Chains A and B, each alone.
Chain A
Amino acid sequence: MTTEQTPGAPYLAQFAQVKAKLPGRRLSWLKDLRQGAIERFVSLGFPTLKIEEWKYTSLSPLTKTVFGPASQEANGRAEEGLRRFLLGEQPCHRLVFVNGRHRPDLSHVGSLPAGVTITSLAAMLEAEPELLEPHFGGEDQSDGQALVALNTAFMADGAVVKLAQGAALEAPVHLIFLATTQGGPAAHHPRNLILAEPGSSAAIFESYGGVGTESYWTNVVTQVKAGRNAAIRHYKLQCEGAEAFHIAITQADLESGSSYTSFVMSMGGRLSRNEIAARLNGTGVDCRLNGVYLARDRQHMDTSTRIEHAKPGGLSREVYKGVIDGEAHAVFHGKIVVCPDAQKTDAHQLNENLLLSERARIDTKPELEIHADDVKCSHGANAGELDSEALFYLRTRGLEEERARSLLIEAFVAEMIDGVETEAVRSNLRKFVSSWLPTVANGKGAA
């Protein structure tokens, strides 16, 4: 009896074709890991609306297309596409990935303090694979586990940032992922590892973008491991091409006394999902997940976070703000789990949305799951329109309606952007917000 081919099946066939060419192919542990992962993906299949965490995000536009391996042919589009993502004059350590592969010619890593390694996954698999082995193949409970498995099977490159005990990295690490492929839909499966040993600190900024109007799929997994008292600031800008799919899963494992501050700004892509799972595995962890999503036209943008307080005395703060225009559909799903052992947990979550058109839609779903009794947990969610009184006030001072709207939209997200600690990242994000606004408001910013 034949059955209809499942959407995952073509990837099994693709895997058979490319597995011998993937980096680390001589490593038996990795071969086994990849084989297990593709089997797991095929058996799980793409997430469907039946899964609670995917209730509002249908992947059917993604599963209808079969995304092939990304071509590594240089086409000269990267240099141009890169420009707007660069941080300008401020010093940073930059790794650029084009169509999923590291491009040393576009990258620049400055002099690093002792104990800091910034390199590509492919290079690390060649040079010191034994350092990577312990970080793969752990139990995965993420909501997007099928896609993590697919990433594991196909991962070809990505960034590895390793901070030895006590190492403090001043300049931010900027990871830029650019898609420039032409001629058929291609998938990239970047895999990033941020390994912060006890007492180390760094700021990491991931930027994702595309050149042109082709459809492609970025399926990225980023693992963060923050040891005791490590401090990681983790920023991300998702500004993929208009026809792109972007699925990102970030898993942060946070040990005692560590702090993890995440800020994600999503504005690109046709369909995107940013999933963060933070596990507060030790006591006294400080975890902050903040972000902004800007959606318009027919974009679908999903933000899905899960904060798991496993041990006592943890603090988590989460604020996501969304601006939704046109016929766009945004989803916010924020889950906080407080385990029985996690007494004295202090968790707060807030999701605010600005709906700019009648057909704009937000599904917001806060979810608290509390198994400890001595905790402080709260959440809030709201959605509203632009303040008509403020709009009128601005117009009576001579500002055109569109300009007044831009000012108010910018003001709505400005406090979030202002909270980004790393100056170079903050000004870069501001620039992208301005570029999104209906009219670029004159005389704003620090001038």
Chain B
Amino acid sequence: MLEIKNLHARVDGQQILQGIDISIKAGEVHAIMGPNGSGKSTLAFVLAGREGYEITQGEVLFEGRNLAEMKPEERAREGIFLAFQYPVEIPGVSGMNFLKSALNVTRKYRGLSELDAIEFLKLAREKLKLLGMDEKLIQRAVNVGFSGGEKKRSEVFQMAVLEPKLAVLDETDSGLDIDALKIVANGINTLRNPDRAMLIITHYQRLLNYVIPDKVHVLAEGRIVRSGGKELALELEDKGYAMLDSADANAAA
């Protein structure tokens, strides 16, 4: 579903990604782990199409289509969803109307009928119930007045409503206490299915106790330095990112 090939990317003139190769099939959950500054969020923004994040070499194919040629909204309609590390507060824009509009443009794009306010509310309530989340998430302006945990939950809720093919979760676990983490993890597991791929970007192994990945990649200085199964996350947890230095040292030796 997603092919990242030798991806190099630059932000504000600074080369951040220096050759990344990842291939994710439908139904798979991949985790990308790495220390601060390794390029994790850059990768997330490159996938979502943020302005100023420039691909300098390599390519990203989503279902065979070159992402670089697609606007952020096209990527979304094609089925890419980014859960933001820092969801943006948008005062004055009703969360419910925003999400209804988002769902309807996607449905229209996919040739489905648009939902009216009542149908949407019904769907939203079903999803909230499924995720064990509070109705408050659709009653306010987008992310306004939400705690950090509520913002993260809201991202997972949006994902549940929009039903993307590929979900990129950028540090959705950061800043959560254990109860909130469980709710978010449960949400992600609920949304896991054979047609959907997920890319979980995280600094810590903690979330991966609840969401078991098919593959783990370790990112450092803009490169994937190791890839492996779920046990790699445990190893990292055990030894810390310092183990990468010795790995590098070994590789260099």
Contact = CB atoms under 8 A, between A and B. Distances in A.
B71 A399 contact: no
Contact of A396 (B72, B90, B93, B94): B72
B76 A389 contact: no
Interface stretch (A95-103, A109-117, A405-413, A419-427): A405-413
Among A387, A392, A396, A412, max chain B CB count under 10 A is at A396
B83 to A, nearest CB: 10
Interface string B67-98: 00001110111000110100110111110011
B97 A398 contact: no
B106 A398 contact: yes
Nearest to B161: A397
B98 A397 contact: yes
A396 to B, nearest CB: 5
B104 interface: yes
Main secondary structure on chain B at its contact with chain A? helix
A398 B73 contact: yes
Interface in B103-118: 104-106, 109, 117
B77 A398 contact: yes
Among A393, A404, A411, A414, the most chain B Cβ lie within 10 Å of the Cβ of A393
A388 B97 contact: no
Given A396-B82, A398-B77, A398-B162, A442 B101 contact: yes
A443 B97 contact: yes
A393 to B, nearest CB: 4
A397 B84 contact: no
Contacts of B90: 387, 390, 393-394, 408, 411
B92 to A, nearest CB: 3
A403 B106 CA distance: 14
Interface string A418-444: 000000000000000000000001111
B73 A395 contact: yes
A415 interface: yes
Interface in A53-88: none
A358 B201 CA distance: 37
A392 B101 contact: no
A396 B48 contact: yes
Given A393-B88, A397-B76, A411-B92, A443 B104 contact: yes
B4 interface: no
Contacts of B141: 411
B27 to A, nearest CB: 23
Given A390-B90, A411-B92, A399 B73 contact: yes
Which bracket fits the contact residues of A?
20 to 34
A285 B40 CA distance: 58
A443 B106 CA distance: 14
Given A398-B162, A441-B101, A447-B97, A393 B87 contact: yes
Interface of A is mostly: helix
B50 A447 contact: no
A358 to B, nearest CB: 16
B151 to A, nearest CB: 11
A392 B104 CA distance: 18
B102 interface: yes
Contact of A443 (B71, B77, B100, B158): B100
In which size bucket is the chain B interface?
35 or more
Nearest to B84: A393
B51 interface: yes
Contacts, number: 88
A400 B158 CA distance: 17
A401 interface: yes
Contacts of A411: 90-93, 141
A399 B101 contact: yes
B92 A392 contact: no
B153 to A, nearest CB: 16
Given A398-B105, A407-B98, A388 B92 contact: no
A81 to B, nearest CB: 31
Interface string B119-155: 0000000000000000000000110000000000000
Contacts of A414: 92
Nearest to B79: A398
A398 B109 CA distance: 10
Nearest to B86: A389
Contact of A397 (B51, B92, B162): B162
Q: Which of A398, A412, A444, A447 counts the most chain B CB atoms within 10 A?
A: A398
Nearest to B168: A396
A388 B50 CA distance: 10
Given A392-B51, A397-B158, A441-B101, A408 B93 contact: yes
Interface string A358-400: 0000000000000000000000000000011110111111111
B107 to A, nearest CB: 10
A399 to B, nearest CB: 6
Given A388-B51, A393-B87, A398 B102 contact: yes
12 contacts: A387-B90, A390-B90, A392-B51, A393-B88, A395-B76, A396-B48, A396-B76, A396-B81, A397-B102, A399-B105, A411-B92, A444-B94
Interface of A: 387-390, 392-401, 403-404, 407-408, 410-412, 414-415, 441-445, 447
Given A401-B73, A411-B91, A444-B94, 12 more contacts: A389-B88, A390-B90, A392-B50, A395-B76, A396-B72, A398-B162, A401-B71, A410-B93, A411-B90, A414-B92, A443-B101, A445-B97
Q: Which 9 A-B pairs have the closest CB atoms?
A: A411-B92, A398-B76, A397-B102, A395-B72, A393-B88, A443-B101, A414-B92, A398-B105, A395-B73
